[in-house]
Amino acid sequence: MRRFLVDTVTTILFFTLVAGFAELVIAGLDPAQVAVTRALTIPVMILTARPYAAWRDFLMAWAAPRGPIGATLTDAGAFLTFQAPVYATTLAIAGAGAMEIAGLVALAVPVMLLVSRPFGLTLDTARRVFRVTAPLRPVRTPPATRPR
């Protein structure tokens, strides 16, 4: 339950700040519109925060990145493979057509790539601060060697 709470609250705080800033400063929405938009995204974040964090944990364990570049690539892969389908589903529920969904998801990919590592680092930091660890994760085993 602690893992769920830490992952969910971290997700809500991170994306409320990042997306809220983008909506206010870049898109030019007024503060009331930003507040409504952010409030509407909270249920989706509550539903997807822990499953995303578990997916990221799994991919980090599977890939076992050895440095910052590998961790960045793994975070990007985790974020894209999880969040792009969530975004596409949300658009479909909102009534967007297939071409609109494809175009919007394509436009969202660069943003997803930009926020994936900062979010991963924020999630790791929150887990450390609140002493919540990722569950035991699968470890890649080296391929068997043939006897000579």
Is 68 part of any domain?
yes
> Do residues 60 and 74 touch, judged by C-beta distance below 8 A?
yes
Domain-embedded: residue 58: yes
The total domain count for the chain is 1
Query: Could you tell me if residue 117 is inside a domain?
Result: yes
State mean pLDDT over 47-63: 94
Amino acid at position 30, single letter: D
Domain range for residue 28?
Answer: 2-129
pTM above 0.85, yes or no: no
In-domain check, residue 136: no
Whether residue 20 is contained in a domain is answered as yes
Tens of pLDDT, residue by residue over 33-52, are 888 888 888 999 999 999 99
What is the C-alpha separation between 122 and 28, in angstroms, rounded?
26
Are the beta carbons of 50 and 4 closer than 8 angstroms? Answer: yes
Please report the pLDDT score of residue 47 as a whole number. 93
38 in a domain, yes or no? Answer: yes
Residues with Cβ within 8 Å of 38's Cβ and at least 6 positions away in sequence, in order, are 16, 19, 20, 23
Check: CB of residue 20 under 8 Å from CB of residue 136: no
Q: Where are the beta strands (DSSP E) in the chain?
A: none
- Asked if residue 79 is part of any domain, the answer here is yes
User: CA–CA separation, 31 vs 24, rounded Å?
Assistant: 7
Question: Which one has a higher pLDDT value, 148 or 94?
Answer: 94
Average pLDDT, the chain: 87
